[in-house]
Structure 1
């Protein structure tokens, strides 16, 4: 998942007295709206000739506009790419802004460099129909609580304040760990973020809990082929799951038994959550893969 470092403010926070009339509060959630415009010159008293015939115009209007927090990271960039492939308008907010690589889809994303703690949300959330957060990372206990928890809580509340109808959070599988391990800042931060999403968006918030996410990850100009490990492991664990199920109740057993998840499956599951109004709540590993398949088909 993308690490979102805490930086000084790059822009002032929006004033509380901002006139909300300029920002849509409940935009439509359909991927495309179709509308017809019918006009008749005859109705306006024009001469009844070829110019007065009824004009039928049917247009497809892109109505989905998603903001991806951490969109230049491993998971975030996959989400941006998948959303673009499905005709969704994408805005990314991250510390690094636009990626350095030159894939064709990159030019179709609006890249904003900033920090969720200080960003001017007026410049980010205008017209958005959903916010997707991939924020998270490792560090000291306090750093993990702030990056995994507080940063996401800030984003959820900003989205709610601006009337964004859906919030999607990339969280993490708990690996069946004992409570004393789940008390670390990483997991407590993630669960705090989950609670905020599900309380502020009880009927439209989506939390994805993948295990190890594999794919081709770019690090400092190099590509790490995590799929060379993750993909075979996923297939093997799928093949033997009937034999390993009795072990799933053992503490920390999922450290070995939880199947890895393709970054593309995570991305397409997010796209499904963006476009499906009936999708909400927590998605397990298997449910992430099922949701991704709906979009792939």
Structure 2
């Protein structure tokens, strides 16, 4: 997991830097506390990439940190409708941000985000020079997505 979520992405950042790319958007992952430990290679790779991105693109690097991303996922010939679970959770949990601060169980209350909302923000961050660099958590992603939709 570290190679894919760390080394491979860092190589992409370095190649983009060498080619003179001005903006780089990276879809990372939110901090889920204990889950980070259980999936250490995945999260260590994500944070390694974030560190490289912020140093290589201080004025044009955008890091998006969603939690559970829902939509329809294709697995072979099967379509998994993740929004059956994700959409209702997103509706409820986007108003429960304070619960995310509860020790140990708080990360379970991080709101999911629809894949199209995440995509809108990622594209805007990549092509709009006025989009500020930095890290956007799931609540920032949802807010930016609503602004794009209006």
Determine if the TM-score, normalized by the shorter chain, exceeds 0.5: yes
Using CA pairs under 8 Å that are at least 6 residues apart, name the structure with larger relative contact order, 1 or 2.
2
- Contact map agreement 1:272 1:294 (CA 8 A) in 2: no
- Contact map agreement 1:266 1:288 (CA 8 A) in 2: yes
Residues in 1 aligned to 2:112 and 2:17: alpha-carbon distance in whole angstroms: 32
Change (3 A) 1:174 1:180: closer
Aligned equivalent of 2:137: 284
1:275 maps to 2:127 = yes
Aligned equivalent of 1:245: 98
Where is the helix percentage greater, Structure 1 or Structure 2? 2
- Contact map agreement 1:178 1:252 (CA 8 A) in 2: no
TM-score (norm. length: structure 1): 0.47
Aligned equivalent of 2:60: 204
What are structure 1's unaligned runs of at least 5 residues?
Answer: 1-143
Residues in 2 aligned to 1:180 and 1:261: alpha-carbon distance in whole angstroms: 19
Change (3 A) 1:147 1:166: same
Residues in 1 aligned to 2:74 and 2:99: alpha-carbon distance in whole angstroms: 37
Residues in 2 aligned to 1:295 and 1:264: alpha-carbon distance in whole angstroms: 11
The alignment of Structure 1 onto Structure 2 pairs a total of residues equal to 149
Change (3 A) 1:226 1:201: same
RMSD: 2.0
- Contact map agreement 1:149 1:190 (CA 8 A) in 2: yes
Residues in 1 aligned to 2:30 and 2:16: alpha-carbon distance in whole angstroms: 24
TM-score (norm. length: structure 2): 0.91
Residues in 2 aligned to 1:218 and 1:180: alpha-carbon distance in whole angstroms: 25
- Secondary structure of the corresponding residue to residue 94 of structure 2: helix
| Larger-gyration structure (1/2) | 1
Change (3 A) 1:182 1:164: farther
What are structure 2's unaligned runs of at least 5 residues?
Answer: none
Q: Which moved more, 1:262-271 or 1:275-284?
A: 275-284
